[in-house]
Structure 1
Amino acid sequence: MNFAPENSKILTGFLPNLRRFIQIYRGYEQPFWMSQGFLAISALFTLLIPLMSQSLIDDGIIPGNRDAMVRAVLWMVLFAVCSAVFTIANAYYAVQFAERTAHAVRMRQYRKIQTFTFGNLDQFPTSDLMVRMTSDVTAIKGAVQQVILSLAQAPVMFVGALFLIYRNSPGLMWILLLVIPAVLAILAVFLFKISPLFEVQQQKLDDLNQVLQESLAGVRVVKAFVQGDYENRRYDRANQAFRQASLHPMRYVAALQPSFFLIVNLATALVLWFGGRAVSQGDSTVGELMAFTQYLVTILVPLVVLATITPQVTAAEASAERMFEVMDTLPDIDQPSQPVLPSATATTQGRIVFENVSFGYPAPPGETPTPVLRNINLTIEPGQTVAFLGATGSGKSTLVNLIPRFYDVTEGRILIDGIDVRDLAPEILHQWVGIALQEAVLFSGTVRENVGYGRPEAEQEELVAAAAAADAHGFISTIPEGYDAPVARRGSNFSGGQRQRISIARALAVQPKILILDDSTSALDMATEARVQEAVQDLMAATTKLYVAQRISTVLTADRIFLLEAGELVAQGTHETLLASSPLYQDIYQSQLGGAPL
């Protein structure tokens, strides 16, 4: 048998995972014990049926005793009904327990994902997390339900049938000594072969879902560039890979059950042959032979059931490994052990200082991170309006993402009002810093819920003021439902410019001391952008405002412009100063505005 490392994970991972699931079930053990109690009782009633079969034949049919026949049949019917009733009760609680498992696993993963930083989300793509939250949870739930439906049955029927066989037909016990090891050997080979195959299957499902998500999210681009055939081929490649990965474990699954039935049939043939000889020699009765055959099946049926659910359990084990991979992932930004909590009377100024800041995104093991920002030193005074300008990839968005600690600096430090952002409690930091990201993401719900997302307790007047400053109140007012208008998934029922303005209003509604607008007016025309900037300036006069832009028109009125190139701060000053002193700024100005007078 091949005990390769991927196969040995079954042994090393199963028990720890089982212990962790037991922790999940703390306080919810009653449905489990109820189900197993009912199942054990059902198994006991099932064990009594062969005894009545033996009595029916030996005491009723052969001697022609009608009363004995009727009595045996009635007992058989009673035991069968009782077994069915308790089996149904077991199923009732098993379903409850399985659904509880799915609910608990989903919530634990979801809460964990909410703690992830941007770096963690870089590690787990959205399609990957979707598979873990859906397909993997379904696999775990299905396996738990099947196990609960048969867990107590196997040992009760196994031990009970062995005892009754030993009592009635000890001469045929040797058949069991052949059959049971053969069944267990097949199960062991199957288990060690199939587990790594299910892991590969889930990985291919991740790849398939990633292609699907990209294609559906970008369907308008696909249509615009007439690339439907290309996307069909790309999806077909991923689908073919998933099909092949699914076929490999299914081949083992397809062979497993027939193998068990072969053993059952061979064992039955041996029983009939040797048992028949014992009956003909007067060493046994027909009823005992019939009862032995039934008990043999009674012993082997739980093993066949185990063979049936083993693929599900093995797939669920792979899914559990993936679930716990999410659960065990630590946020790559450490929280301060003794966070600074400014007093309620302290006044937040919004002064930002970068001291020798460098940053590089985490690299795979064994590789050196490539610096994205190098030795950034700058100071932004309270209430200033500053702008970060530069070509795509110059590090503008990365720089402002360091302020609310979406990522942590690699070197140096960032101070807000003299406090290192790494020493601030996260809830305080995110109260101080409001941000409208590059991608204007809206949530399904209402306009009101989206504008007030960061501050649900805000009054209607405050939401309207924020929306007005973002130049969103006008188009919201034209909708019949107004602020109660529905927002479709990802805001698809609004234009790109409208989504951006609602996103800006959401950032303003928080009333932060530091406002970051990360290229969040790129979908607006210049006139609308100018109105938004002017209104934001009026509404948030005391707030430190940071604009990230590629259009020079966005930064013209800023108190200070920081010019970045290839991750370095190459110039800073007002528009007039940079236009007179910076060749790079002059090139940007000439290329975008053609030297037009302002």
Structure 2
Amino acid sequence: MALLPNLRRMMIIYRGNWKWIALSQIFVLLSAFFMLLIPVQIATLINLGVITGNISVIVDSALTMLFFAILAGAFAMANLYVAALVGEGTAHYLRTIVYEKIQTFSFGNLDTYPVGEMLVRLTNDIYQINMAANYATRYMLYAPFMILIALVFVYIGSPSLVWIFLLVIIITAVLFGVISLVLQKQYQERQRTLDAENNVLQEDFAGVRVIKSFVMQDYENKRFEEKNENFRLASLSPLRTMSLQLPSIFLILGLSNALVIWYGGMQVIAGVIEVGEIVAFTQYFFFILAQLWILSYVLPQIIAAEASGGRLAELIDTVPTVLNAPDAEALIPGEIKGRVEFENVSFSYDGPGGKEAVKNISFTAEPGTTVAFLGPTGSGKSTLINLIPRFYDTTEGRITIDGHDIKKIPQDKLRTIVDIALQESVLFSGTIHENIAFADQDMTYEQVREASLAADADGFVSAIPGDYKSRVARKGTNFSGGQRQRLSIARAIAPHPKILILDDSTSAVDVATESRIQAAMSTLMKETTIFMVAQRISTVLTADTIILLDQGEIVDKGNHSELMGRSTLYREIFESQLGGIRKEDVS
């Protein structure tokens, strides 16, 4: 099993830049080498200078030590520069590939990962890897090399003391190994609780107006506090474990130093070694102390990054639930007529064998006609229209456009044929023009205004200082719900798609505005096949075909007059919503 497989995988970008990484590690080795030459000069200074009173040896040794220190510092600085490039480069690379991967997710994948969780992975988890890459470049070769070369110098200068050196290294390695195993599980739990906390924050910030409206601040405060407390406890666990690490190292080295002084002193008295070697040996011990102290911080960071790397790998390895077929055929949008046919379509969010949200759906929408879906909440209306642009794939049956199975059409090509205004009117920060021209940023002002007129949005847009260059706040919060819906409809119809889906997209506008939108669209989009989902019956009265759904199945279909004559469910919906209007007025 490879060491740190997730972290190694996240740093794959540097396979193409190995020369820079190799150069930085040469800097590391040179810095360590010159630093380790300093105790050799200390031994010379004491044995041949201080004890004998030779001033020239003292001066030469001091200047040599200064020269070695300058060289060691210069090479260390060069390595620090490369380490910063490695850390930031890794973070930039991971943010890019993970973000691009999320963009490939199907709706089914997005149902699995809450927004708050993905944000944590794109920010905190990548930060952990950034720091680990930085530290690894700076210290992971430096510390072992320092210890190894120090061991060689001790063996050359004081072979009788080598066993103490080895004892310290073995005990410390066992200590690090045990702590590392514990820390990895603790860091995974910390990130999991951070996900949960951020999900609550995401929900509460997005729904703050609802919270205030229902005076539920205390309830949400308690809910957040529970998640925050879980995160606090999960964060303390690795800190408690790490708190044992550094004192243990100091204890080991303190006892070892005492052992060196006692045993080394006996060796000096016996004439086996000289005082300078003992002083040099304690300097090497100081270097070991420094390196182990650094490793006590670096290794936990690397372990945390390994846990974060696993979480990023999970996203990167996620296979979209909707994939292009190997034999996908790229249709030419200009040649599409817009004939849509459902052939015994069934779908389950749980996959084959799961509870079906829609089942045995069969109907045909001819080019240029309007098909409306009506039924109680939860009857499968939105589910059904989400299958047309392949936000989800059918579990059984098939959907065709002009006879072509949509599973054989590349998704990007399919979605240039099919445009949709979703239930939630999401606008992006930028200008009104950029939002309406979202499908084609080269769209002209005239094209944007034409779509805006059809969506009955031009009136309020023109009244804003700045017109279509006016700024849109994040999520369109500077517009009312009805205005956001009209801008979303304009965005959907601006590219003149062959198939247009309106998923309850006029629910926030009044009936008069809705009527103007429908009248304008009947002219502008007369060659477009339109699918409507609606909760209120006034939206669907003029549709060519109304499909009545109940519990995921078609219970009847026809135009308004036909359904009024034969469908009890349709009449009940009509009476409940438009009971005060004479039937002949809307027949």
Q: TM-score, normalised by structure 2?
A: 0.97
**2:480 is matched with which residue: 479, 484, 495?**
495
Larger deviation, residues 147-156 vs 256-265: 147-156
Deviation of 1:585 (Å): 0.7
**Residue number in structure 2 paired with 1:42:** 31
**Residue number in structure 2 paired with 1:291:** 280
**2:212 is matched with which residue: 223, 226, 229?**
223
**Residue number in structure 2 paired with 1:150:** 139
Letter in 2 for 1:354: F
CA distance in 2 between partners of 1:54 and 1:14 (Å):
39
Deviation of 1:488 (Å): 1.1
**Residue number in structure 1 paired with 2:342:** 354
Task: Tell me if structure 1 keeps the 8 A contact 2:437–2:448.
Answer: yes
CA distance in 2 between partners of 1:343 and 1:521 (Å):
31
**Residue number in structure 1 paired with 2:193:** 204
**Residue number in structure 2 paired with 1:72:** 61
Report % sequence identity: 49
Task: Tell me if structure 1 keeps the 8 A contact 2:27–2:75.
Answer: yes
1:444-593 paired onto structure 2 within 5 Å: 444-593=429-578
1:44-443 paired onto structure 2 within 5 Å: 44-342=33-331, 347-362=335-350, 368-443=353-428
Task: Tell me if structure 2 keeps the 8 A contact 1:31–1:94.
Answer: no
Deviation of 1:595 (Å): 4.2
Three-state SS of the structure 2 residue aligned to 1:28 is helix
> Once the two structures are superposed, what CA deviation does each residue of 1:122-154 show, in whole Å capped at 9, x if it has no partner?
111111110110010001101111111112212
> Once the two structures are superposed, what CA deviation does each residue of 1:308-352 show, in whole Å capped at 9, x if it has no partner?
2111111100000000000000111121111122357x6211011
CA distance in 2 between partners of 1:230 and 1:253 (Å):
35
**Residue number in structure 2 paired with 1:8:** none
> Once the two structures are superposed, what CA deviation does each residue of 1:74-116 show, in whole Å capped at 9, x if it has no partner?
1112211221121111111100110000000000101100110
Change beyond 3 A, Cα 1:548–1:13: farther
**Residue number in structure 2 paired with 1:5:** none
Three-state SS of the structure 1 residue aligned to 2:15 is coil
CA distance in 1 between partners of 2:19 and 2:8 (Å):
17
What RMSD over aligned residues (CA atoms) do the two structures have, in Å?
1.4
Larger deviation, residues 294-303 vs 546-555: 294-303
**1:594 is matched with which residue: 575, 579, 583?**
579
CA distance in 2 between partners of 1:249 and 1:368 (Å):
43
Three-state SS of the structure 1 residue aligned to 2:255 is helix
> Once the two structures are superposed, what CA deviation does each residue of 1:221-248 show, in whole Å capped at 9, x if it has no partner?
0110111111110000000111111111
Is 2:16 the partner of 1:27?
A: yes
Deviation of 1:547 (Å): 0.8
Letter in 2 for 1:360: S
CA distance in 1 between partners of 2:108 and 2:2 (Å):
27
Task: Tell me if structure 2 keeps the 8 A contact 1:589–1:595.
Answer: no
Three-state SS of the structure 1 residue aligned to 2:137 is helix
CA distance in 2 between partners of 1:283 and 1:132 (Å):
59
> Once the two structures are superposed, what CA deviation does each residue of 1:56-89 show, in whole Å capped at 9, x if it has no partner?
2112222222222222111112211221121111
CA distance in 2 between partners of 1:595 and 1:160 (Å):
94
CA distance in 2 between partners of 1:263 and 1:542 (Å):
82
Letter in 2 for 1:501: R
Deviation of 1:368 (Å): 4.8
CA distance in 2 between partners of 1:151 and 1:303 (Å):
11
Deviation of 1:390 (Å): 1.1
CA distance in 2 between partners of 1:126 and 1:22 (Å):
25
CA distance in 1 between partners of 2:378 and 2:19 (Å):
57
CA distance in 1 between partners of 2:224 and 2:441 (Å):
41
Letter in 2 for 1:514: I
Change beyond 3 A, Cα 1:222–1:468: same
Deviation of 1:391 (Å): 1.4
CA distance in 2 between partners of 1:342 and 1:434 (Å):
16
CA distance in 2 between partners of 1:249 and 1:67 (Å):
53
Three-state SS of the structure 1 residue aligned to 2:17 is coil
Three-state SS of the structure 2 residue aligned to 1:305 is helix
Three-state SS of the structure 2 residue aligned to 1:27 is helix
Deviation of 1:13 (Å): 6.4
Letter in 2 for 1:160: I
> Structure 1, unaligned stretches of length 5 or more?
1-11
> Once the two structures are superposed, what CA deviation does each residue of 1:31-50 show, in whole Å capped at 9, x if it has no partner?
32232121111101101110
CA distance in 2 between partners of 1:69 and 1:231 (Å):
71
> Structure 2, unaligned stretches of length 5 or more?
none
